[in-house]
Amino acid sequence: MPSLQVYASKVTQFSRNENGKQLAALFSLTDQQGSSMYDHNMTIAQLEGQLGKKLAQPWNEIAVKHLKAFILQSEGRYGEAFEAQKDLVQVFQRAMISWDRWCLPILYVINSDLRMLATQADHMEVAAEGQRKKLEDAANVISKSFTYCITDRGVLATSKKYGTYRVIGMLFRIYFKLKQPNLCKNILRALSAADMPSIEDFPKSDRVTFRYYVGRFFFLEEDYLRAEQELSLAFKECSRHQQKNKELILLLLLPIRMMRGVLPNDRLLRLYPRTRELYGNIAAAIRTGNVGQFDAALAKAELQLIQNGTYFAVEKAQIMAMRRLFHRVFLLLGKNTRIPIGTFKAALEYTGQHMEVEETEWMLAVMITRGYMKGYLSHEKLYLVLSNKDAFPAITTL
């Protein structure tokens, strides 16, 4: 009993002092400061009776539900532990209406633990194929935390709005895990309509997580311009010590850049081995204009690219390898502006890419349409006529 008395005293002290960080440690399932302060032979009913007397509302409910979740988790009863944690989060959500920014560390911890327990429960419980019932339930509960943060009307300096991006990061992580990234739209819509502080006023870690998932969302939407903007900012702001996170960003960012012909340098590939393994040979093929080598590298990395969700984006970069090859043909011919289409066909065959003249003509037409080269095609004479000035515009201008 003495340990439980100490625990209750700390909860009382830290709540009176509005010390959110210390309270977060007491209510964390991973920190276990709170769970270490009671007799493990006590039943849940005994805990409820003891803490009910020692703590005022709502802390008595919060503490009891936390310890209940801990006990059930330690016994491997993850589904029941999830339900106890869900009750805890909902009690806290109702109480936080009257609190300000100091309560956010607790909110982060209990929502994060809810997601963890949902994942554990879904792994253990038999569910229909492809379903994660508890994780879906967790998303619904955590979305309420998002609402409480973003709609806070308190004084800005102490507003719970400063918890918005952290909670969004949790939600987006779940949405992608559930393979329901379309749900991100509702969050982004609410965010754009809200009167929020500048994103620069939020912790860098929250900004990086948010921008990574938003970039990932736009990537799936094939809005590559906005995806590149968000992912570039995420990579720039992500600490160099967080190599794994920076590599996760690069795995999406590099395909977008390669589609535009912007290739990673050797130093970048050396720093991030997984990125080098996946994209190194593909980038080398684009750099030399070796279309056959590009296709071979793409085929070799196909399974990994599909798992990474970047296969189709990388496949689209083949046209940049062709552009580089055609540019080399142009230079080898002394920058002659009238080149037979058959010459380009022969160049493609030299790299192992077999195309009919009609297919080669079509590829040239695509490049002209997209601005990768300036000129026009003479279908009757089967010639490409290039502009006398800037026939192959710099990639950075496209």
For the segment 153-212, what is each residue's pLDDT rounded down to a tens digit?
989 999 999 999 999 999 999 999 999 999 999 999 999 999 999 999 999 999 999 999
Q: State in Å, rounded, how far the first CA of the chain is from the last one.
A: 71
pLDDT for the residue 53 = 78
For the segment 362-388, what is each residue's pLDDT rounded down to a tens digit?
999 999 999 999 999 999 899 999 999
Angstrom distance (rounded) from CA 291 to CA 352: 7
Is the domain 330-397 a CATH 1.10.10.10 member?
yes
Asked whether residue 126 carries a pLDDT value surpassing 70, the answer given is: no
pLDDT for the residue 396 = 72
Tokens of 40: 């493990």
pLDDT for the residue 395 = 78
Asked whether residue 20 carries a pLDDT value surpassing 90, the answer given is: yes
Angstrom distance (rounded) from CA 243 to CA 215: 18
pLDDT band at 128; cut points 50, 70, 90? very low
Q: Map tokens 């936080």 to a residue.
A: 96
pLDDT band at 283; cut points 50, 70, 90? very high
CA 311 to each of CA 35, 182, 298, 325: distance values in angstroms, whole numbers, following the listed order: 46, 20, 8, 22
pLDDT band at 130; cut points 50, 70, 90? low
Mean pLDDT of 242-263: 95
| Nearest partner of 184 among 204, 213, 209, 145, judged by Cα | 213
pLDDT for the residue 77 = 92
pLDDT band at 131; cut points 50, 70, 90? low
For the segment 210-240, what is each residue's pLDDT rounded down to a tens digit?
999 999 999 999 999 999 999 999 999 999 9
Domains of the chain: which residue ranges? 2-202, 330-397
Asked whether residue 51 carries a pLDDT value surpassing 90, the answer given is: no
pLDDT for the residue 38 = 58
* Residue type, position 49, single letter: G
Asked whether residue 271 carries a pLDDT value surpassing 70, the answer given is: yes
pLDDT band at 124; cut points 50, 70, 90? confident
For the segment 108-121, what is each residue's pLDDT rounded down to a tens digit?
999 999 999 999 99
